Structure 1
Amino acid sequence: MAFVPRQDPVESEQTVPERPGSLDPQELGFTPKGPIGWLAPLLLLSTGLRALLAILFGAYLDKRELQNSLDDDFFDHSSTADGELWLDYVADLGDGFDATYSVAYLLAQPELEVDGERLPRGRLLLMGGDQVYPLASGDGYENRMKGPYRAALPEAPAGEPRPTLFALPGNHDWYDGLTAFLRLFARRKDGHIGGWRTEQRRSYFAVRLPANWWLFAVDEQFGAYIDDPQLLYFERAAEEVGPDDRVILMTPSPTWVKAADKPEEYDAVDYFIRTILAPTRAHVRVLVSGDLHHYARYTGDDRELITCGGGGAYTLGTQNLPGELTVPPKETLTRSKSRSRTYGLEKSFPDPDLSRRWGRGVFHRLPRRNKGFATMLGIIQTLTMLAMAGAAASREDGSILKLFTIPLVLMLLVVMAATTLFAQPPPAPSPKRVRHWVLGVLHGFAQIALAAGGTFVWLRLDFRDWPWPWPLVVAAAVYGPLIAVLSTQLTALYLLSAARFGVNVNELFAGQGIEEGKSFLRMHIDAGGTLTIHPIGLEKVCHEWLPDPQGSPQSPWLRPGTPLTPHRIEPPVRVAGPRGPRP
């Protein structure tokens, strides 16, 4: 293992690409994509299957062990002309073009003026996970991440050190076993994304920063152990860390929040801190992660716990976040855990009131964003109604035993199974999880009641007596669309109600695909060693982009048609010197 020092920019031998004059994919070199409809039936099926395969066969897909054959360098960005360093953090970014590019555009600007203060662009850009949605692939990265970021900063800034990009994989990067991720971010040849240079050779990395600061980015996914080559890599890096050093720890998921419901979630991170960092007597002052698509900061006596997943994916509300966390949780079964400490929620964006207001928008956003989902509900409801109508007709003929015909029983089972699975009940029984089962079953009964009501109306109309196949045509052309609207609204009501009990909160917001409320971090290490974190929010993204064919080589290809107005989510968070409790 060796240090890789920061390299000064060199003239590229590649031909500078011609700047596009329109948003034509042929000119851009990628296809701007719209927001993902997360409740689309095929997407739900494919994502669910891939997630299941990743969980069941993750050990076979896990390429972290194979990374032992790759370079094990860690990186030195501690030497700067003034002893200071600016760095940016963004996560959960590869979704719809408008939101992703709005954030990329701000990150690429030479400086941002936020609340009257000028904040220079980061020399390092840290991507915290889920660089592409919904599934990792070469085309997915090209269209949803690499293309937008290349358009935001096409070439390295003239006369300045070339900024460097490091990326940590999230669960969506993992669904192909990191194949596409490593090909993009860990390549030896042509290692750059637009004006950003890539240096890493593995899915995890360690970076020395100025003024005795370090950055450790740990790749722990699906709650699995941290692999031995990765532990060995960080053990070697930790040999350079001393008792006066401070550490920023990047993780793929805010396990400190998730451990409130599942105490074992934090075990891997706690193990890493205890076994790798604690022996150095360095101070872990900041834990930062994405994965949850909002900004939230918990603070305690020893460190800041920050979630910042607002890089472009749908916004997730914060109304269900606990006001206080105990980390590590006292309920964990790990016998040698670190001493538990309490952390309080200081700030979130969007705030709980705005989150609730956005949540209530599910009634109009859900059908608009997920037409395929509404169509699926309409088909299921129509088939259930026809089965009920057939059973009722059999009863009128005196065939009581045909009341519960095979088609009707089958449709009822389909509805109950779908709504129960949709509530995501975990396999292990737990008093905390009973609400998942209860709400899923109640949702199923509500959908069946809607079908029964539709059957009651259908049997009183003249359509049923028309010659075949006209009743079926009317059911498909008239009844289907109407019942699809009603069933979608019933699902929206369920999501809004279930979220109050902490169930299907993610689906409530994923189904709406809210693009507003983005966030990222701009951090500064001064020569005296103080780390200042500027949480930047963007209430509204741009939806109209204008090509700039006459711009300079390093200026964005596309400029916003309406101004982007970043703001501070909260006052700057200052993390001072190494005085304070050790991890």
Structure 2
Amino acid sequence: MSVDPTEVPAEAQPRIRPRPASLDPRELGFTPQPPVPWLAPLLLINAGLRTLLAFLFGAYLDKRELQIALGPVPDHDHSAGDELWLDYVADLGDGFDSTYSIAYLLAQPQLQPDGVDRPLPRGQLLVMGGDQVYPTASGEAYENRSKGPYEAAMPVAPREGPQPTLFAVPGNHDWYDGLTAFLRLFARKRNAEFGGWRTEQRRSYFAVKLPHGWWLLGLDEQAGSYIDDPQLEYFQEIATRIHPDDRIILAVPAPTWVKAADRPGAYDSVDYFVRKVLAPTGAQVRLMLSGDLHHYARYSGEDRELITCGGGGAYLVATHRLPETITVPPRDTLVRHASKPRDYAIKGRFPTVKESRAYTWSIFWRLPHRNPGFATFIGIIHTMLMLTMSGAVRGEEQSPQLLTLPLGLMLVFILGATIAFSKPPKIGLRGYAKHWLIGIAHGLAHVALGALGTWAWLASPLSGWEWQVVTAAVIYGPVAGFLGTELLALYLVIAGFFTVNVNELFAGQSIDDSKSFLRLHIGRDGTLTVYPIALRKVNRRWSAAPDAPEDSPWIEPGTPLRPHLAEESPITI
């Protein structure tokens, strides 16, 4: 008996909850989550295994080609009316404070960010651009980290005006369970409620007709690997309705235009889609949107704008290491019939270069604070290293063999782990030597710290106590764990200078400030205006609002949220 992945048991259907009188999870219906500790050992192992499984068996778990059996896709026609407002948010399902701060702003009937001279109405459409949940996809994770906070921000459809519609593009974290939970949440056979928003799509990809000849296309690349045949057929049929004078907004899971600077093949799938499906229509792709990199950045060229806006809630990623100019597609791509390369220059970013660099130095206190499990793991490793070193030294007094088997295994493990952590790319890619050298230097630094700790331990009276393992674990372990974690923080700062482990430098901090989303407006004259809305500080103190109107947020911030434009002025297309 086959099971439809989009069918949901009756008991799992949305139900109207009474307004909660407190922040008790039993009343909210979900459990607010802290930021994901991205360097927690168990999480790293789990994420690594899932990534490996997705790489090895992704084609077997790929549900995109099965989605055609779900029936015909309804037309997503939102072209009625003289104008339309559209919101875009990505990378949202992380810690509650950051995710809900952005959800709260998105749910407000209107916003007037600093730098804007008029109120901006809430989007009639909300597009979630990928990675709606972290660290891995499951029904419970979606409920606690994304759907729950958004339902609390807008519990029911607004009393005034039409109910806003929700579309979602899956990112790599949505793919970790083969899209099972994503399809159940966003692509049911009938419209479903996501708080006050209504889902409408039936596949993991979509095409929406907008006013004045604009189109919104959401592409599912399955981690950038390829575009499946049913998806191509769907968009080829849509292309028959697109006219030469039309303009297209293309939402993709990742900013492959930036990633292609280091991996020339990263942009190939998007380029193929533009060349083979969209270019024959004569329409122009004027705007590409993506999340995946958790910041705001805009590259501008003569033909289109390329915007990354992954500030919906996940940990902040640096902006000061972004290239000033990029060529898309790269000139050294191996695709024989690639599009004509064009140059794009960075025109806006949030946080600013100065702010991004300043965040670098907070690694020294955020790393142990956000990742206590990792500090414990480092303490255990250094305790084992000290015990094997001290055993070798004591054995040297009786036998001239300093490098014992246990110590040799520890040294191989540490050097292997630090080299792997530096993620040296395959030979042939530019700059691979620095990864090996930095990784080896990092390992030797930990060995030196272990040698210094061993000398201090043997010089202290503690080395003469009985139950050496217990004594070392209780006394030496915490100190070595803190020092080893700070050594790793120093390594990340230095490695970041050489553009190595930049993601880990920021992931290890789980920075929940400096978030962003986009509010787009198609005006009466057909002009598209993009308002990049930034939030420098998220709220961390919340209170229930049991007596507020039915369609108002369940949870109110303790201090007002102060959004502002991420650039000096809106972007007009």
| Band of TM-score, shorter chain | over 0.9
Q: Determine the C-alpha separation between the residues in 2 that align with 1:565 and 1:431.
A: 42
Equivalent position of 2:113 in the other structure = 114
CA distance 1:364–1:285, shift in 2 (3 Å):
same
The structure 1 segments of at least 4 consecutive aligned residues displaced by more than 3 Å after TM superposition are 13-16, 571-576
* Structure 2 Cα separation of the partners of residues 166 and 265 of structure 1: 24
Say if 2:532 and 2:567, in contact at 8 Å, map to a contact too.
yes
Structure 1 residue 74 displacement after superposition: 3.6
* Cα distance between partner residues in 1 of 2:149 and 2:122: 17
| Bigger mean CA offset, 474-483 vs 67-76 | 67-76
Question: What is the SS of the residue equivalent to 1:400?
Answer: coil
Report the Cα distance in structure 1 between the residues aligned to 2:74 and 2:440, rounded to whole angstroms.
53
What is residue 76 of structure 2 aligned with on the other side?
75
Are 1:104 and 2:98 counterparts? no
Question: Partner amino acid for 2:250?
Answer: L
CA distance in 1, matches of 2:160, 2:571: 30
Asked if 1:457 corresponds to 2:456, the answer is: yes
TM-score by length of 1: 0.94
Shift of 1:17: 2.3
Report whether the alignment pairs 1:390 with 2:363.
no
Identify which range, 281-290 or 420-429, moves more after superposition.
Answer: 420-429
User: Which residue matches 2:495?
Assistant: 498
Question: 1-side partners of 2:454 and 2:237: how far apart?
Answer: 69
Are 1:53 and 2:53 an aligned pair?
yes
* Residues in 2 aligned to 1:140 and 1:541: alpha-carbon distance in whole angstroms: 21
Q: Which of these residues, 520, 523, 529, is aligned with residue 523 of structure 1? A: 520
- Quote the offset at 1:233 in angstroms: 0.3
SS of the residue corresponding to residue 94 of structure 1 reads coil
Give 1:176 shift. Answer: 0.3
Q: Distance in 1 between matches of 2:65 and 2:121?
A: 38
Question: How is 1:433-452 mapped onto 2 (pairs within 5 angstroms)?
Answer: 433-452=432-451
Map of 1:491-570 to 2, 5 A cutoff?
491-570=488-567
Paired position in structure 2 for 1:204: 205
Cα pair 2:14 2:193 within 8 Å, conserved: no
Contact persistence 2:91–2:131 (CA under 8 A): yes
The answer for the alignment partner of 2:9 in structure 1 is: none
Deviations, residues 196-243 of structure 1 (Å, cap 9, x unaligned): 000000000000000100011110023311100000000000110011
**Residue 465 of structure 1, CA deviation:** 2.3
Where do 5+ consecutive residues of structure 1 fail to align? 1-12, 577-583
Q: SS at 2:459's partner residue?
A: coil
The answer as to whether partners of 1:534 and 1:571 remain within 8 angstroms in 2 is no
CA change 1:460–1:233 in 2 (3 A) is: same
The answer to whether the Cα contact below 8 Å between 2:90 and 2:128 also exists between their aligned partners in 1 is yes
Aligned-partner residue type, residue 367 of structure 1: P
Q: Give 1:14 shift.
A: 8.4
Residue of structure 1 equivalent to 2:348: 347
Deviation at 1:400, TM superposition (A): 1.6
Paired with 1:304 and 1:455, the residues of 2 have a C-alpha distance of 57
1:105-130 Cα distance to aligned partner (Å, 9 max, x none): 00000000123420000000000000
- The number of residue pairs the alignment matches comes to 558
Which is further off, 101-110 or 565-574? Answer: 565-574
Shift of 1:313: 0.4
> What are structure 2's unaligned runs of at least 5 residues?
1-12
- Residues 242 and 281, structure 1, Cα contact 8 Å, conserved in 2: yes
Counterpart-to-counterpart distance in 1, 2:75 and 2:497: 45
Q: Is the 8 A contact 2:108 2:122 kept in 1?
A: yes
What amino acid sits opposite 1:501 in the alignment?
Answer: F
**Alignment partners' CA distance in 1, 2:427 and 2:59:** 21
Q: 1:346-385, aligned counterparts within 5 Å?
A: 346-385=347-386
| Structure 1 position 182 matched with structure 2 position 179 | no
Separation of aligned partners in 2, 1:473 and 1:232: 64
Q: 1:237–1:382: structure 2 CA closer, same or farther, 3 Å change rule?
A: same
Residue by residue, what CA displacement relative to the aligned partner does 1:248-297 show, whole Å, maximum 9, x if unpaired? 00000000000000000000000000000000000100001000000000
CA distance in 2, matches of 1:424, 1:14: 43
- SS at the partner of 1:175? helix
Secondary structure of 1:57 counterpart: helix
| Cα distance in 1 for residues equivalent to 2:66 and 2:38 | 33
Q: Does structure 1 conserve the Cα–Cα contact (< 8 Å) formed by 2:426 and 2:432?
A: no
Q: Which moved more, 1:472-481 or 1:30-39?
A: 472-481
| TM-score for both structures, normalised by structure 2 | 0.96
Q: Is residue 137–residue 173 contact of structure 2 (8 Å, CA) maintained in 1? A: yes
Structure 1 residue 429, shift from structure 2 partner: 3.9
Q: Which residue of 2 aligns with 1:143?
A: 144
What is the CA distance between 1:172 and its match in structure 2? 0.2
What SS is found at the alignment partner of 1:343?
A: strand
**Whole-angstrom distance in 1 between the partners of 2:461 and 2:160:** 79
The equivalent residue for 2:63 is: 63
Structure 1 equivalent of residue 307 of structure 2: 306
Per the TM alignment, residue 428 of structure 1 is displaced from its structure 2 partner at its CA by 4.3
CA separation of 1:296/1:64 partners in 2, compared to 1, >3 Å: closer, same or farther? Answer: same
CA–CA separation in structure 2 for the residues paired with 1:495 and 1:87? 38
Cα displacement string for residues 411-454 of structure 1 (whole angstroms, at most 9, x for unaligned residues): 11111111111111224443422211111111011111110111
Which residue number in structure 1 is paired with residue 32 of structure 2?
32
Deviation at 1:388, TM superposition (A): 0.6
Report the Cα offset of residue 553 of structure 1: 1.1
Listed one character per residue, the Cα deviations across residues 9-39 of structure 1 (whole Å, up to 9, x for unaligned) are: xxxx987421000000110000001111000
- Show CA shifts across 1:93-115 (max 9, x none): 00000100000000000000123
**SS state at 2:431 partner:** helix
Provide the rounded CA distance (Å) in 1 between the counterparts of 2:314 and 2:27. 25
| Alpha-carbon distance in 2 for matches of 1:497, 1:179 | 40
* Aligned amino acid, residue 537 of structure 2: K
Cα contact 2:287–2:307 (8 A) shared by 1: yes
Decide whether the 8 Å contact of 1:530 with 1:574 is kept in 2.
no
Secondary structure of the structure 1 residue equivalent to 2:242: coil
Using the aligned pairs only, state the percent identity: 59
- Amino acid in the other structure paired with 2:504: E
Q: Give the SS at the match of 1:242.
A: coil
1:536 Cα deviation from its structure 2 partner:
0.2
